[in-house]
């Protein structure tokens, strides 16, 4: 067989998938290693997708998405972040993952560097490698509560750096970047003339702290604006399989965006777009119910960890708890989660799935049922 491209050969195994697939094939296992919201889709959302098929509205849509959906995303962003953006800056994409690929395709040439968080979501590195760019990890240290520090990021900037990747609320940390740090990060990008890609997948789920988008501190003048905001309905409405997200772009890039969109996917499936429109414009009560459920799971699991003396980061957002199991993991948390699944029947994502700083840590998904979550966490060995 001829060789595969080098950049594909070098993409590492996704350790979340590795442990989760092992858990799925373990009868009776409690799976706390994956972030899949358990809520059923509301009827009006399903109906909107089905009605689109019934109308036989199954042709191509405009590259950037149906106008009503672009406007719904823009209106929501205006309302939540107070940022005055128009629908022409919104591109409907096949989930946040494609939005990230899309933004990186527009910004990164081969050999360019992108600064990504460590610990951070694994595809930030995978996607940039696929584009022949170079992911450079900026550290989020336990002693700083895993918050980004400007001097750590600034020290990594070279003439090849093009992009700073941000993710708040964070997967895997549940950490939320403060308004002041967000402002400083945008100022840093301006000082070094860099782009920002802001992954705001979990924007709907913060607990007692606001979610502040870097777009608030960006210029809105074409040629000066530098923030790309990646949004998804996968987490907010629990519709991961419909594959709908949005990328909000700096103004003035419309033609270039259309070209990139055309060459990657042309447009997103129309039934998914109509379902998304119904989700964004219909009743929102199930989003607040989901938030209350995650908060209650966070509180219950945090209390159990505290009882066992296991250190963890107090989650301010998303639906994950980041816990320190270095008292049992023996310096190899990836091997330890496999052994723990075999011995105790519970899967957690190993911290090393998210970068080297995750050694000794696990990510506990809070999005399932509470009893199962507590049964799983109860099996963790206490710290003496
Ligand atoms: C931080 C982060 N970004 C992007 C994604 C991809 O989301 P989507 O399903 O919208 O592609 C996820 C999914 O888990 C995520 O956690």
The pLDDT value given to residue 41? 84
- Ligand 1 nearest atom to the CA of residue 97, by list position: 11
Output the domain CATH number for residue 316: 3.90.1150.10
The pLDDT value given to residue 13? 82
The verdict on 312 and 354 lying in the same domain is yes
| Euclidean distance between CA atoms 236 and 42, whole angstroms | 13
The pLDDT value given to residue 335? 97
The residue whose C-alpha atom lies closest to atom 16 belonging to ligand 1 is: 171
- Choose one of 281, 304, 321: the last residue of a domain: 281
| 117 CB near ligand 1 (under 6 Å) | no
- Choose one of 281, 316, 344: the last residue of a domain: 281
| Euclidean distance between CA atoms 345 and 121, whole angstroms | 25
| Euclidean distance between CA atoms 314 and 303, whole angstroms | 11
The verdict on 218 and 360 lying in the same domain is no
| 95 CB near ligand 1 (under 6 Å) | yes
The verdict on 198 and 113 lying in the same domain is yes
The verdict on residue 384 lying in a domain is no
Residue 97 — pLDDT band, cuts 50, 70, 90?
very high
Rounded to the nearest angstrom, the distance between the alpha carbon of 80 and the centre of ligand 1 is 20
The pLDDT value given to residue 18? 94
The verdict on 20 and 146 lying in the same domain is no
What number is the average pLDDT over the span 263-289?
94
The alpha-helical segments, DSSP class H, found in the chain are 6-9, 15-24, 43-54, 67-81, 96-107, 123-130, 150-154, 179-191, 233-236, 254-264, 270-281, 285-307, 326-329, 333-344, 370-378
Rounded to the nearest angstrom, the distance between the alpha carbon of 243 and the centre of ligand 1 is 10
The verdict on 294 and 248 lying in the same domain is no
| 97 CB near ligand 1 (under 6 Å) | yes
Could you say which DSSP state residue 237 is in? S
Residue 125 — pLDDT band, cuts 50, 70, 90?
very high
* Number of Cβ within a 10 Å radius of residue 369: 12
The verdict on residue 383 lying in a domain is no
pTM of the model: 0.96
The verdict on 210 and 303 lying in the same domain is no
With the most atoms of ligand 1 within 8 angstroms of its CB, the residue from 73, 96, 172 to mutate is 96
Mean pLDDT taken over the chain? 95
Residue 1 — pLDDT band, cuts 50, 70, 90?
confident
Could you say which DSSP state residue 238 is in? S
The verdict on 35 and 50 lying in the same domain is no
Examine the pLDDT at 314 and tell me if it is beyond 90: yes
- Choose one of 264, 281, 298: the last residue of a domain: 281
| 246 CB near ligand 1 (under 6 Å) | no
CB 245 within 8 A of CB 95: yes
The verdict on residue 291 lying in a domain is yes
**Total domain count, the chain:** 2
| 170 CB near ligand 1 (under 6 Å) | no
The verdict on residue 371 lying in a domain is yes
Taking CA atoms, 78 is separated from 81, 92, 213, 321, in Å, by: 6, 16, 11, 30
- Full DSSP string of 116-137: EEES--THHHHHHHHTT-EEEE
The pLDDT value given to residue 50? 97
Domain encompassing residue 310: 6-41+285-378
CB 248 within 8 A of CB 103: no
| 200 CB near ligand 1 (under 6 Å) | no
Count of alpha carbons within 13 Å of 62, Cβ hemisphere only? 15
pLDDT digits (tens, 9 = 90+) for 230-251: 999 999 998 898 999 999 999 9
Can you give the C-alpha Rg of the chain in angstroms? 21
| 234 CB near ligand 1 (under 6 Å) | yes
The verdict on residue 96 lying in a domain is yes
Output the domain CATH number for residue 205: 3.40.640.10
Residue 38 — pLDDT band, cuts 50, 70, 90?
confident
Q: How large a percentage of the chain has pLDDT more than 90?
A: 89
The verdict on residue 1 lying in a domain is no
Rounded to the nearest angstrom, the distance between the alpha carbon of 209 and the centre of ligand 1 is 21
The verdict on residue 197 lying in a domain is yes
Examine the pLDDT at 36 and tell me if it is beyond 90: no
């Amino acid at each position: 067989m001829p060789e595969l491209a080098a950049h594909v050969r070098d993409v590492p195994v996704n350790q979340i998938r590795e442990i989760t697939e092992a858990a799925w094939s373990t009868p009776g296992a409690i799976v706390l290693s994956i972030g899949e919201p358990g809520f059923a889709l509301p009827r009006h959302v399903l109906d909107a997708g089905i009605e689109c098929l019934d109308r036989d509205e199954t042709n191509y849509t405009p590259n950037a998405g149906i106008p009503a959906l672009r406007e719904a995303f823009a209106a929501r962003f205006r309302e939540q972040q107070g940022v005055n953006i128009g629908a022409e800056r919104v591109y409907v994409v096949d989930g946040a993952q494609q939005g990230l690929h899309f933004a990186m395709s527009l910004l990164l040439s081969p050999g360019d560097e992108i600064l990504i968080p460590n610990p951070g979501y694994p595809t930030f590195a995978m996607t940039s490698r696929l584009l022949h760019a170079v992911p450079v990890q900026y550290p989020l240290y336990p002693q700083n509560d895993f918050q980004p520090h400007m001097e750590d990021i600034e020290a990594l900037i070279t003439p090849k750096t093009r992009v700073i990747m941000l993710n708040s609320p964070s997967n895997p940390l549940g950490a939320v970047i403060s308004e002041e740090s967000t402002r400083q990060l945008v100022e840093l990008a301006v000082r070094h003339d860099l782009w920002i890609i802001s992954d705001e997948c979990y924007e709907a789920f913060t607990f007692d702290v606001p979610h502040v988008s870097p777009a608030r501190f960006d210029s809105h003048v074409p040629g000066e604006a530098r923030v790309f905001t990646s949004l998804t309905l996968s987490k907010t409405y629990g519709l991961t399989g419909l594959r709908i997200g949005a990328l909000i772009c700096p103004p003035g890039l419309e033609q270039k965006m259309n070209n990139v969109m055309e060459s990657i996917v042309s447009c997103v499936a129309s039934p998914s777009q109509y379902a998304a429109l119904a989700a964004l414009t219909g009743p929102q009560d199930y989003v607040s119910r989901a938030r209350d459920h995650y908060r209650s799971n966070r509180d219950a699991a945090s209390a159990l960890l505290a009882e066992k003396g296991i250190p963890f980061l107090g989650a301010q957002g998303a639906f994950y708890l980041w816990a320190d199991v270095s008292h049992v993991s023996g310096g190899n948390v990836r091997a330890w989660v496999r052994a723990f699944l075999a011995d105790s029947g519970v899967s957690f994502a190993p911290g090393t799935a998210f970068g080297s700083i995750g050694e000794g840590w696990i990510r506990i998904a809070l999005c399932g049922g509470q009893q199962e979550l507590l049964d799983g966490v109860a099996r963790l060995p206490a710290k003496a």
